[in-house]
Amino acid sequence: MNIDRIVLAFAGFAILLSLALGSVGSPIFHHSYWLFFTAFVGLNLLQSAFTGFCPLALILKKLGRSSGAAF
Protein backbone atom coordinates (compact mmCIF):
# COMPACT_ATOMS: atom_id res chain seq x y z
CA MET A 1 0.00 0.00 0.00
CA ASN A 2 1.49 3.34 -0.99
CA ILE A 3 1.27 6.67 0.84
CA ASP A 4 -1.64 7.96 -1.24
CA ARG A 5 -3.88 5.03 -0.39
CA ILE A 6 -2.94 5.08 3.30
CA VAL A 7 -3.72 8.82 3.56
CA LEU A 8 -7.11 8.38 1.87
CA ALA A 9 -7.98 5.33 3.97
CA PHE A 10 -6.99 7.09 7.19
CA ALA A 11 -8.96 10.22 6.27
CA GLY A 12 -12.04 8.17 5.45
CA PHE A 13 -11.78 6.23 8.70
CA ALA A 14 -11.26 9.41 10.76
CA ILE A 15 -14.26 11.10 9.15
CA LEU A 16 -16.57 8.14 9.67
CA LEU A 17 -15.45 7.62 13.27
CA SER A 18 -15.78 11.29 14.20
CA LEU A 19 -19.22 11.44 12.58
CA ALA A 20 -20.30 8.41 14.59
CA LEU A 21 -18.97 9.97 17.79
CA GLY A 22 -20.48 13.40 17.06
CA SER A 23 -23.93 12.60 15.67
CA VAL A 24 -26.65 12.59 18.29
CA GLY A 25 -28.52 9.60 16.81
CA SER A 26 -25.44 7.37 16.76
CA PRO A 27 -25.23 4.45 19.21
CA ILE A 28 -21.65 5.45 20.11
CA PHE A 29 -22.41 9.19 20.47
CA HIS A 30 -19.95 10.92 22.79
CA HIS A 31 -20.12 14.68 22.20
CA SER A 32 -20.99 16.94 19.32
CA TYR A 33 -17.52 18.55 19.46
CA TRP A 34 -16.25 15.54 17.49
CA LEU A 35 -17.75 17.20 14.41
CA PHE A 36 -14.94 19.79 14.60
CA PHE A 37 -12.50 16.92 13.97
CA THR A 38 -14.56 15.95 10.92
CA ALA A 39 -14.25 19.50 9.62
CA PHE A 40 -10.49 19.52 10.33
CA VAL A 41 -9.92 16.35 8.31
CA GLY A 42 -12.02 17.70 5.44
CA LEU A 43 -10.16 21.02 5.39
CA ASN A 44 -6.82 19.21 5.52
CA LEU A 45 -7.83 17.10 2.51
CA LEU A 46 -8.90 20.22 0.64
CA GLN A 47 -5.68 22.16 1.31
CA SER A 48 -3.52 19.14 0.46
CA ALA A 49 -5.26 18.91 -2.92
CA PHE A 50 -4.04 22.42 -3.75
CA THR A 51 -0.67 22.56 -1.95
CA GLY A 52 0.49 18.93 -1.90
CA PHE A 53 1.36 19.27 1.81
CA CYS A 54 0.03 16.55 4.10
CA PRO A 55 1.47 15.93 7.59
CA LEU A 56 0.50 12.24 7.53
CA ALA A 57 2.25 11.79 4.18
CA LEU A 58 5.46 13.26 5.64
CA ILE A 59 5.28 10.89 8.61
CA LEU A 60 4.67 7.88 6.37
CA LYS A 61 7.54 8.88 4.08
CA LYS A 62 9.90 9.02 7.08
CA LEU A 63 8.67 5.56 8.10
CA GLY A 64 9.76 4.24 4.71
CA ARG A 65 6.45 3.76 2.91
CA SER A 66 6.55 3.97 -0.87
CA SER A 67 5.38 7.17 -2.53
CA GLY A 68 2.36 7.43 -4.76
CA ALA A 69 1.53 9.88 -7.51
CA ALA A 70 0.17 12.60 -5.22
CA PHE A 71 2.66 12.68 -2.36
CB of 33 within 8 A of CB of 22? yes
Question: d(Cα 23, Cα 33) in Å, to the nearest integer?
Answer: 10
- Whether the model clears a pTM of 0.75, i.e. scores above it, the answer is yes
Domain boundaries in the chain? 3-62
pLDDT at site 68:
83
Q: Walk along the chain (71 residues) in steps of 10 and give the mean pLDDT of each run.
A: 94 97 95 96 94 94 89 68
